[in-house]
Amino acid sequence: SETPWPRCAGRMWRVFTLLGLLCDAAGGKKPGAALKKIPARSFTMGGDELSGAPGTVQVSLQEYKIDETPVTNAHFRKFVRATKYRTDAEKFGWSFVINSSLSEAALLEAERAVQDAPQWVAVEGAWWRQPEGSDSKQRANWDEFPAVHISWTDAIAYCEWAGKRLPTEAEWENAARGKRKESLYPWDDARPTANGRWMMNIWQGPFPQEDLGEDGYRGLSPVKVGNVWEWTADPFRSRQSEEEQWTLKGGSFIDSVDGEFNHKATVVTRMGNTADSGSYNTGFRCATGKGGGGRKRPPDQKMLQKLAEEGGVEAVQEYLKKTGSDASVMTPEQLQKHRDRLKELQSEEL
């Protein structure tokens, strides 16, 4: 059965490498993961009811670029240092963590759990820098792990800083399918256990009691292997909730091959959560290109002010262009000239 997902703590890691279709390295160095070019094509989106996809639809996409990996801790740290950004999890002071990832001491301190999903506990001090709270594990390759406890709002802020954007659900799924545009996995339709080895990081063993780690990982893993849910730019429509939600894709390390528990992890797997929700298995990656669509936030005014002070109007215009905004920018002098010209035209008409 499907596990309920808490609000103010969405959660799940991407499961796939996403490299099946990714061809040419993109030009133009941007912060974060390397961008890969995805050629224009049409494909059938959706198609697996157990993965939460509501039927199928034919989609045509323009060429775009997408991050090779989810945003890592190293990438996100650069953003935070440059902007002094505080995530929603930091503002709340807590976030949800799967209980099997916590020490006994941390479990004793955790007081809140999700109704009907006791394996999720609210841990004080859990955020991207210390994903299990103050008692977080020390990992030698922590920089290579995806940044988690990331909300949709956090992901948007990072993408804007990096001169990128969130991918649409269609772009995400298209890239995850690789060259085999009708398959349920980046490699083909073969089960993830084909050839006697695991192809992705999901839960093996009785859930939630024990993750056997047959794929080489218990819980989170470095980004090259995937394993968190990833935010997209598209709204998520649900008959069960009137709250505004946004679409996450891919499944996570707590999901299963066949949907026996939680979600069936495939390239079409999807769910929704609120914009301020983030958790132990929620991350994201960025994209660029004009074919994005999805609902856009207004430009970050503090970011625009900082760019204007450091690089002038040209820097602001370049930023708006990269983030897909059609807004125009004028200096005070240009604005005054524009107003004067409008007055002249009005006088001529009179």
Give tens-digit pLDDT for 277-300. Answer: 999 889 999 999 976 544 444 455
Domains of the chain: 35-288 (3.90.1580.10), 301-349 (no CATH)
At 218-241, the pLDDT tens digits run 455 444 444 789 999 999 876 666
What tens digit of pLDDT does each residue of 13-38 get?
Answer: 333 333 334 333 344 466 778 899 99
Quick: pLDDT tens for 78-124: 999 999 999 999 999 999 887 666 656 665 565 655 556 667 788 88
What's the whole-model pTM score?
A: 0.69
Three-state SS letters, the chain? CCCCCCCCCCCCECCCCCCCCCCCECCCCCCCCCEEEECCEEEEEECCHHHCCCCEEEEEECCEEEECCCCEHHHHHHHHHHHCCCCHHHHHCEEEEEHHHCCHHHHHHCCEEECCEEEEEEEECCECCECCCCCCCCCCCHHHCECCCCCHHHHHHHHHHCCCECCCHHHHHHHHHCCCCCCCCCCCCCCCCHHHCCCCCCCCCCCCCCCCCCCCCCCCCCHHHCCEEEEEEEEECCCCCCCCEEEEECCCCCCECCCCCCCECCCCCEEEECCCCCECCEECCCEECCCCCCCCCCCCHHHHHHHHHHHHHHHHHHHHHHCCCCCCCCCHHHHHHHHHHHHHHHHHHC
